[in-house]
Structure 1
């Protein structure tokens, strides 16, 4: 019997079509799924996953199920679940605890429900599942996640876990903090740190899908607008380049001097947020940090400025400050909320300050998630086979897997690459000219 909590099981037929469409664009994961189905390397393995419940994630979950795993899936964002996808996954035997529009309490209850499967492997996107398990195991009595997790989960549960995976930069930051403090309880593979993940998913995926979310929410013309991008990591640079490609004048705000210099030499205007606040028509945060745009910046902005976030958590734009200082608030549409400031200016917050690409659009294109989730599937297989041999550390996937994913993708695209001769290989391995 499949235990679940979703919005509407009758949406499953629509979900089936969406997942079939996504899988058609994901040839690498399709090949991995076929291999998992033949060999069943995950037989008897229980997986608890906290990820965006999208059609692309569904393709990954079905591949792992075909490999023999029992899976419990919760959402990694209250607004990112595609309800029709959740319904189809339940019909396919996966425990799903996710629906669009969850409250904060419902969100953490869903994570705890997924974790109650008693996982051998965890899969995370942002670290909320991993952190809940660690708080319960370590008795760190803080936050709603601990309150809910400790009422459902056993402190002993983490001892059974062979290993975990982490999909995004924010989650990796949290994991490395646990490792530094000597509190990480099992090995975790930072899938985000694979070249075939962050160079493509973060840059091309978030770059395109964040712009897509903003346009779906507002239908503005981006050409001619001053677009302020906060953060020039792989996500920020993807957004900056795509905004410029659509005719926007892009301003980059960056705290790291090397990244700031890179943005400058790539032709962007670089300044601090106080200066950018007066210039921007559209603001997009992509830093992974908190209070990037706050009280003093809101007061300097133009009337009508749009505020969007592409970072994992809704902390980059200080919604708290915005709520506190506004004289009136109203909803313009499902994704746009208007805040009127004491100076009479109006600012427009998109998607409650949450991930705009998933809250107001459909997330990354399937083609780019093919790379990310190919890495995820192979990371799970590696943990099942070798997790017991690994220390309690944050690991990167072996470079051989990165190359395998890239070669499979190139083959699916019909792209030929050069092959080195034996003489060339020998030359590259020699220290003598």
Structure 2
């Protein structure tokens, strides 16, 4: 007889060996005992395993979602069963309820904030400045969040040090490129039940996320066009073999438009006249602002739902524009979305754990500001990942190490 495993995190634990190794290593010493860690992230199974890992290391964990519609009810219920974990979100919350929950969380006075999109870090500064003064530090895992932390630092309002987890090689080379690329395209195809092969996919933004989407779409047989505002990234896209043009030009050619910029109104009123009938729009960036839904509503005679997860806007001239996941993150808020593959979130969440562990236990004595996470932590996570894969690599010989360190007259003799 086959029994059903009702633990919603069981499958994900099998594919997060780094987090499992950290939980096993620190479950006895409990280096985070006495510390309260606040976590804002998309509350699905991988996040649940990170929460378990933080708790295994001794932390009291306060949990909220970085986006209300990506919250999985079974994960929330599983976490609520565990001592030392407090949840401030429920599946199906309105935006207003979600924000209220975040403020309730901050009133618990966390020592450390692990953030997604700078949600908690921004709110604690704007609305709870007295609590911000007592926060030891934070870690931010997204490009959009790093941009907001940078703005806070430039305006001299940041009250504590923040590790830029997003900018570590273990985050942006793997999570952003492979995680976003695979999960976004998988959910576009699952939701629409359409083929990418032979279609024209326009990718807005060629940062690490957009790069992954464009490369993987082309690998699946799509024709790819990239739009950009940064000339260097645009040139990189050209050299990688994609066509590059403005959104105004690309819109008329697109079967799919997938945005991944971290900014707002990437597809807006001026582009609507160019879109083909039946075009599919998806957001793989952040929040729900990259597609201007207000402009679409204003230009539409009717709005229907031809399929679960798809909103169809009927424009006045008869064209139909299909928006996936209500313009929110297509890989996390669609009807079938499960976020990034567990194997890649294992590395990202290991880096988030390392950020909290380092700042809370090693006391790096940092003044308020945005900091690169120490390189040795990134390398340690990479080494753990290789160990879980059974892969060995070479080490530098003493002569090789000396060659790197000698700057004046390197000896080229053998």
Alignment partner, residue 82 of structure 2: 92
| Residue 377, structure 1, aligned to residue 367, structure 2 | no
Residues 15 and 221 of structure 1, relative CA distance in 2, 3 Å threshold: same
TM (norm. structure 2) is 0.95
d(CA) in 1 for partners of 2:162 and 2:361? 14
d(CA) in 2 for partners of 1:341 and 1:32? 53
d(CA) in 2 for partners of 1:334 and 1:74? 26
d(CA) in 2 for partners of 1:344 and 1:321? 16
Is there any run of 5+ residues in structure 2 with no aligned partner, and where?
none
The offset of 1:101, in angstroms, is: 3.2
Q: Which consecutive segments of 4 or more residues in structure 1 shift more than 4 A?
A: none
Judge conservation of contact 2:29–2:57 (CA < 8 Å) in 1: yes
Alignment partner, residue 264 of structure 2: 290
Instruction: Give CA-to-partner distance per residue, 1:13-32, whole Å, 9 cap, x none.
Output: 9762x312111111111111
Judge conservation of contact 1:15–1:87 (CA < 8 Å) in 2: no
Please state whether the residue corresponding to 1:300 is helix, strand or coil: coil
Alignment partner, residue 43 of structure 2: 53
Q: How many residues get paired?
A: 403
Judge conservation of contact 1:260–1:270 (CA < 8 Å) in 2: yes
TM (norm. structure 1) is 0.91
Residues 157 and 293 of structure 1, relative CA distance in 2, 3 Å threshold: same
Instruction: Give CA-to-partner distance per residue, 1:292-342, whole Å, 9 cap, x none.
Output: 110111121000000000011211111111112111101223310000111
Alignment of 1:187-336 (within 5 A): 187-336=161-310
d(CA) in 2 for partners of 1:411 and 1:342? 58
d(CA) in 2 for partners of 1:14 and 1:79? 25
Instruction: Give CA-to-partner distance per residue, 1:329-367, whole Å, 9 cap, x none.
Output: 012233100001112100001001111000121000010
d(CA) in 2 for partners of 1:128 and 1:112? 10
d(CA) in 1 for partners of 2:363 and 2:372? 13
| Residue 65, structure 1, aligned to residue 55, structure 2 | yes
d(CA) in 1 for partners of 2:27 and 2:207? 37
d(CA) in 2 for partners of 1:99 and 1:201? 26
Please state whether the residue corresponding to 1:327 is helix, strand or coil: strand
| Residue 25, structure 1, aligned to residue 1, structure 2 | no
Alignment partner, residue 105 of structure 1: 96
The offset of 1:171, in angstroms, is: 0.5
Please state whether the residue corresponding to 1:170 is helix, strand or coil: helix
Alignment partner, residue 71 of structure 2: 81
Alignment partner, residue 420 of structure 1: 396
The offset of 1:102, in angstroms, is: 2.4
The offset of 1:263, in angstroms, is: 0.7
Alignment partner, residue 328 of structure 2: 354
2:135 to 150, 161, 165: 161
Judge conservation of contact 2:32–2:361 (CA < 8 Å) in 1: no
Residues 264 and 388 of structure 1, relative CA distance in 2, 3 Å threshold: closer
Please state whether the residue corresponding to 1:182 is helix, strand or coil: coil
Alignment partner, residue 122 of structure 2: 131
d(CA) in 2 for partners of 1:373 and 1:182? 29
RMSD over equivalenced CA pairs, Å: 1.4
1:116 to 102, 107, 112: 107
Please state whether the residue corresponding to 1:38 is helix, strand or coil: coil
d(CA) in 1 for partners of 2:363 and 2:135? 9
Alignment partner, residue 378 of structure 2: 402
